[in-house]
Amino acid sequence: MGEVDPAFIQAFEHRPTPTIIEADGIPILDLSPISSLDHLPKTHVISKDMANLIAEVGEASEKWGFFQVINHGVPLEKLEKLELLARKFFALPLEEKKKVTRNEANPLGYYDTEHTKNVRDWKEVFDFTVKDTTVMPISPEQLEAQLLVNQWPDYPPELREVAKEYAEEVEKLAFKLLELIALSLGLSADRLNDFFKDHASFIRLNHYPPCPAPQLALGVGRHKDGGALTILAQDGVGGLEVRRKSDGKWVRVKPTPGAFIINVGDIIQVWSNDKYESVEHRVMVNSQKDRVSIPFFFNPAHYVNVKPLEELLNEHNRAKFKEYNWGEFFANRKRSNFKKLNVENIQISHFRITE
């Protein structure tokens, strides 16, 4: 493909910049102090190493909204297996992939038509839920939660099983990170866990093919993740850029072998009443190499109403957001990602209390 469809072309001010700032500033946290635990101690009996780790999580969440983790307990063979199968799946002919395509009735499966802020992303993806029974409303016209059903391709046949094994491991890590975040906010470790009893998390296999015009398009346009936490595995190619809070500049996250990239999503921003902001990020593409990334979007149950946590509020820190329902928020997002619309998609700023 020599020409790029105008649907992919970013407005001038959003095009990637040729000068790359590498973010060696994004902290790398070593999770060894908690790697042997299933859950964290609620508050007391916290070792010095653990207390340091909690402080680092708090600092990184406040300063960057992003951090990386190593010694996270997820067996890397499970990730490597899934990555290999993702590559095999994406290498299939388009007609094959389209057999498991998503549609208005089922948001899961394959598609290559996602739009971020109404510009088409240079990527193809395959989505599946983490739990066997995940219920969610999927369109703002029909807000009743419905059972989401994963669509698995015939080939590669092992994808379903390998995806499940990987999901189980990352789910454990997700709960540990949630507990670290709760502790870092001065809350009891399990304060947020109930919201995730019926969590509606999903995993996305992202494939970014080489792009003939990488200076005009983006793999994913600038956006914030709407859920609670994202746990991203990326291959060695690189392309993820994060908006640095200190100066608003886009900085590249250099791939660290074996590390996951964690970012705080909109829900944690609201729970923490802006202490931990959900930071904008985007993905650059290149003309040479394919890239695969695998985000795990850790999302609460659809019935959770999100609002700043009471314990963090006082007369000097009043609630900055009105309560909203997570399922409804998700359904609104889904629709605007599905097709190009003329309206901005839903953002937590729409629930911000203005004085």
Which residues form the interface with Ni ion (CB under 5 A)?
A: 225
Cα–Cα distance list, 133 to 129, 137, 254, 266, 334 (Å): 8, 13, 36, 24, 19
- Residue 124 beta carbon to Ni ion: minimum distance, rounded to whole angstroms: 16
d(CA 192, CA 188): 9
d(CA 101, CA 155): 14
Burial of 62 (0-12, 13-18, 19+ CB in 10 A): middle
Q: Which is nearer to ligand OGA, 291 or 320 (CB)?
A: 291
Partner from ligand OGA, Ni ion, none contacting 114, C-beta within 5 to 8 A by type: none
d(CA 345, CA 329): 10
The tokens of 60 are what?
């990184």
Residue whose beta carbon is closest to Ni ion: 225
Q: Which residues bind ligand OGA (CB under 6 A)?
A: 204, 206, 220, 225, 232, 234, 240, 281, 283, 293, 295
Partner from Ni ion, ligand OGA, none contacting 242, C-beta within 5 to 8 A by type: none
Contact status, residue 249 vs residue 265, Cβ threshold 8 Å: no
Partner from Ni ion, ligand OGA, none contacting 178, C-beta within 5 to 8 A by type: none
Residues 6+ apart with CB under 8 A from 303: 145, 198, 325, 326, 327
- Residue 133 beta carbon to Ni ion: minimum distance, rounded to whole angstroms: 25
Contact status, residue 70 vs residue 30, Cβ threshold 8 Å: yes
Residue whose beta carbon is closest to ligand OGA: 293
Strand partners of residue 204? 127
Q: Which is nearer to ligand OGA, 134 or 234 (CB)?
A: 234
d(CA 230, CA 187): 21
Partner from Ni ion, ligand OGA, none contacting 206, C-beta within 5 to 8 A by type: ligand OGA
Partner from ligand OGA, Ni ion, none contacting 192, C-beta within 5 to 8 A by type: none
- Residue 201 beta carbon to Ni ion: minimum distance, rounded to whole angstroms: 14
- Residue 202 beta carbon to ligand OGA: minimum distance, rounded to whole angstroms: 11
Q: Which is nearer to Ni ion, 81 or 335 (CB)?
A: 335
d(CA 234, CA 291): 8
Q: Which is nearer to ligand OGA, 61 or 234 (CB)?
A: 234
- Residue 230 beta carbon to Ni ion: minimum distance, rounded to whole angstroms: 6
- Residue 240 beta carbon to ligand OGA: minimum distance, rounded to whole angstroms: 4
Q: Which is nearer to ligand OGA, 97 or 281 (CB)?
A: 281
Q: Which is nearer to ligand OGA, 127 or 171 (CB)?
A: 127
For residue 8, give the DSSP letter. G
